[in-house]
Structure 1
Amino acid sequence: MNRNMSNDVPPIYIVSGGSGESGERVVETVLVQFPDFQVPIIKADYVRQEEEIRDVVDQASTTKGIIVHTMVDGGLRNLLIRYAQEMSVEAIDLMGPLFDRLTRILGQKPKEQPGLYRILHQSYFDRVDAIEFTMNHDDGKNTHDLHLADIIIIGVSRSGKTPLSMYLAVLGWKVANIPIILDSPLPSELFEIDPRRVFGLDIDYERLAVHRKERQKRLNMGVSTYTDPTIVFNELEEADKIYNNNHFSVIRISDKAIESSAGDIIDIITRRFGDKAKINRHGK
């Protein structure tokens, strides 16, 4: 459900043999033109059986809703159209008219394979998923599903965790990053996953001090322990202990381009896991 349900507005049912993303985008594009109304959206995706067609039409009839469908299977699409007419349910066909027109023009029938667009563009969708995952797991957020990450990056503040994570995400890797903070325990989930997927960032004291002073000045942080030499040094020592005690791989990033650090991580993770380097993908 994508919007708050309302008792005054009938729902829109999006019916698809695949993920339903195409129909959902069209409906959402239209609904933004009606900002004063909260129209309920109910998505029926991966519909592959006649009984599923009848169920969603019956539900739309009961709720006085309308159906927007992107069924590419001709038999199921025609069934939906016929049964919707029988039940006096309005059904808007986003695919059929274009299919019919192109069939006449091209002299060839469509494959009628649900989800084919996503299959042919899977690398793009993988990158989008990776970027979304990485943004949602930045700076120690959402550690409850840390096991879903391909790569986990840890390090002290201003060691470059976030930009490195995002660079890897653009390349299609799901990355979580976690800060190391003195006197603050790391999440327990970190120690429950395969340590070969964890990479600790090692940065020179001088370089780190410069980064922190620049940030302190930019944010007008005033006097704090953030740039205190003793604190900074202790944080780096603590990070080294964590890396060594848990057998985490160390990536030295001082005076190193982000592309080079990312390449090192990809080489290591690929060498270790082969074709299973990226986990929880299609076919999972």
Structure 2
Amino acid sequence: MENKPNMPPIYIVSGGKGLAGHTIVESMLIQYPDHKIPVVIEPEVSTQEQIDKITDKVVEKNGVIAHTMVNHVARRKLIDSCEQKEIRHFDLVGSMSDYLDTVLDMKPVEQPGLFRLRDMEYYRRVRAIEFTMMHDDGQHTDKIATADIVLAGVSRTGKTPLSIYLAMFGWKVANVPIVPGTPVPDTLFQIDSKRVFGLTISMAYLIAQRSSRVNRIHMNPNTDYIDRRKVRMELDYAANLYKKGNFTVLNITNKPIEYTANEILTILTERFGSDKWKLDEEHH
């Protein structure tokens, strides 16, 4: 069967981006291979003026409207305009919305794009975790300027678990090990110091943590790794680097990861504001 020329366009009218309506319409049209029906998205519609312009255009093109207006008032205005101008229209959300209003006995928030925002939040967290894994333990230090948070510290100060914990909340974290005798990447001192946190710890607690690891992996117990003098030198070396870079120093002795993470987020909120995604856009 041949397609007819000049098929009437379908206008998808939405208070948001129109992606949900477009998906529904396209999932129907795909059942009609090689169709020639134009699909036009009219996003972010909320005013009577916008509705009048769109419906006038639809009349001129002899088209139809499929709409996903979650705002009751705007939906009513659009339906009234369609009926006055004898436009065939398909309400893709209204009946379900009315049903949910009744069943749940509550009013919806009527904010367009919430589903898309939820998806964006999910994918941001996934990207944050991927970024954090790629920048763990000094990897790709040339790219740490794109991190929301940079952690620095000697071995066994909990950099990796703290990084992953923060990433689960959508923060892109890089961590840099501090090892005497190993040059610290120049980029650590070139990025915004207000986003760099130097982790420190009491010597006794650090030696206890390292001793546990030595026993667990059967290392030589006489290693410099747990030698008090060497450990003291490591901590002093790290402290001097933190001072040089004007980094924020956090003592993580006997503190759970959640506490330290909250401490970091509180400091960042005070410095930059509460909208981390806005910060993400500005710095990246």
TM-score, structure 1 length as denominator? 0.59
Residue number in structure 2 paired with 1:138: 136
Distance 2:120 2:176 in 1: 28
Residue number in structure 2 paired with 1:63: none
Distance 1:167 1:124 in 2: 15
Distance 1:266 1:195 in 2: 15
Stretch moving more, 125-134 or 151-160:
125-134
Give the aligned length: 192
Q: Deviations over 1:132-175 (max 9, x none)?
A: 21111111112121111110000000011111111111122111
Residue number in structure 1 paired with 2:241: 242
Residue number in structure 2 paired with 1:207: 205
Residue number in structure 2 paired with 1:109: 92
Distance 1:77 1:190 in 2: 53
Pick closer, same or farther for the CA change 1:145–1:83 going to 2, 3 Å: farther
Alignment of 1:157-236 (within 5 A): 157-222=155-220, 223-236=222-235
Q: CA deviation at 1:233?
A: 0.6
1:280 is aligned to 2:263: no
Distance 2:227 2:249 in 1: 24
Pick closer, same or farther for the CA change 1:129–1:213 going to 2, 3 Å: same
For structure 1, list consecutive stretches of 5 or more residues without a partner in the other structure: 1-47, 49-70, 86-106
Q: Percent identity over the alignment? A: 41
Residue number in structure 2 paired with 1:15: none
Task: Name the SS for the 1:121 alignment partner.
Answer: helix
> Structure 1: which 4+ aligned runs deviate by more than 6 Å?
none
Distance 1:162 1:75 in 2: 44
For structure 2, list consecutive stretches of 5 or more residues without a partner in the other structure: 1-18, 37-89, 95-112
Q: Is the 8 A contact 2:29 2:35 kept in 1?
A: no
Q: Is the 8 A contact 1:118 1:125 kept in 2?
A: no
Q: CA deviation at 1:209?
A: 0.4
Stretch moving more, 192-201 or 251-260:
251-260
- The one of 113, 118, 123 equivalent to 1:120 is 118
Pick closer, same or farther for the CA change 1:121–1:277 going to 2, 3 Å: closer
Q: CA deviation at 1:121?
A: 2.8
Pick closer, same or farther for the CA change 1:84–1:233 going to 2, 3 Å: farther
One-letter amino acid of the structure 2 residue matched with residue 266 of structure 1: L
Pick closer, same or farther for the CA change 1:247–1:81 going to 2, 3 Å: farther
Distance 1:202 1:74 in 2: 57
Task: Name the SS for the 1:72 alignment partner.
Answer: helix
